[in-house]
Amino acid sequence: MVRRAEIPQFGLLSGVKVVHNTVSIAGPFAAELYAEYGADVIWIENAKVPCMSRVATGNAWQQDRRNQRNLSIDISLPEGKEIFLKLMEETDVFISAARGGQYEKMGLGDEVLWERNPRLVIVKISGFGQTGRPDYMNRPSYDPIAQAFGGYMAMNGFPGMPSMPTNPLTADYMSALFAFGTSVAAVMKSRETGRGESIDLAQYEVLMRTQSRYPMDFLEQGIPFVKEGSHSAYFAGYGAYSCQDEKEVYMLYLGAGVLKRGLPFMGVEFGTEKIPSSTNLLYLSSPEGQLLEEKIKAFCQSHTAEEVEKAFLAHGVPCSRIMDYNDCLKDPQYVAREVFTEWKKVNGESVKGVNIFPKFKNHPAQIWRGAPNIGMDNEDILGELGLTEEQIKELYRKKILAQRDYLNNI
């Protein structure tokens, strides 16, 4: 248990209070970014059913709930709802994950929350949005569903083969980043004006917004997207290549400077009539592009991935081995920048995972606590709201509150 006074003060968001009532990935990760950058973050967890991340997503909850406090309460019951509203009075950001209209049905719509706290920033993450057609608003959704509906899945996979989702959980993590960024902006405006905001974030729209030029190409010129798989469908020297040791590299012959240095290395002349010095790329369909492809493939087949990477980088061609976790652990840049780190679980055991990014020079982030167990901060959070020990005991008796040691009892 950690009292608010015991929470270390650090980071860019020290002094901001965030409450989230979310499950799975998107909402919790948006809240996690606040927690890692210094905000006081309270995770409301259903008193009856633990968050699915504890049982369905491996170690995700250990990494994406660190620095958070946990209040396990049933906010659908009158007493739980009143405690929730009291908590909102001193909260800067509330993040929820619910289908359109769900909080309104519970009597916890925007206007109700703003009656308690006019400056509150409300973030609603859903698959299909809080407005529009009711039959869409009520659709269930997870990351792959958002990818399928948002046009994202149709862009991924190999030509002539079934579409596939991008992993891991692109829709969830991109939605989390949008939720975090827009809500921080809303907090800034709220502190300036005293008026909060309600952010309606539909995951499929996030995916459509982040598809680069392709939606506009279709809208303006009717150009459909063509699946590319692991190699550009248009440009030579742009994709994945298999090497002698059965590992792969990815490279991009892209830009006049790259071609000027990288083409002669492959025995292809640069600055000629066929490849002028102003050339930025070679089309896969051209004779010169086909020649470059043949040269690259032959070189890769006769060298290891590490040798290929070193050779092409020496000639100015962007190139990297396609790394797995073993490669990452051993890579000197990963080690130098401390990409992986270790912290303590709330039971005192050590755990390893990914560090906090990006890095800050003047207001560094930190990991001060592992992911909380179910309801482990109930007494402290409710005590901060003014509830007495007897009132808290009565809430346990009525099963409005719950408390369990996840590590041992699930």
Q: Which residues are catalytic?
A: 172
Q: What is the pairing mode between strands 68-72 and 197-202? A: unpaired
Q: What is the pairing mode between strands 197-202 and 121-126? A: parallel
Distance CA 41, CA 115 (A): 22
Q: 250: which strand partners?
A: 240, 320
Phi (first) and psi of residue 41, to 5 degrees = -115, 125
Q: 365: which strand partners?
A: none
What one-character DSSP code corresponds to residue 231?
Answer: B
Phi (first) and psi of residue 347, to 5 degrees = -95, 5
CA atoms within 13 A on the CB side of 377: 24
Q: Is the dihedral of CA 299, 305, 311, 314 positive or negative?
A: positive
Q: What is the pairing mode between strands 248-252 and 40-45? A: unpaired
Which residue shows structure tokens 């692991």? 230
Coil/strand/helix, residue 163 = coil
Residues 207/63, Cβ–Cβ less than 8 Å: no
**39-53 b/e (C-beta count within 10 Å ≥ 16 → b):** bbbbbbbbbeebbeb
Looking at residue 135, its amino acid is D
Distance CA 99, CA 101 (A): 6
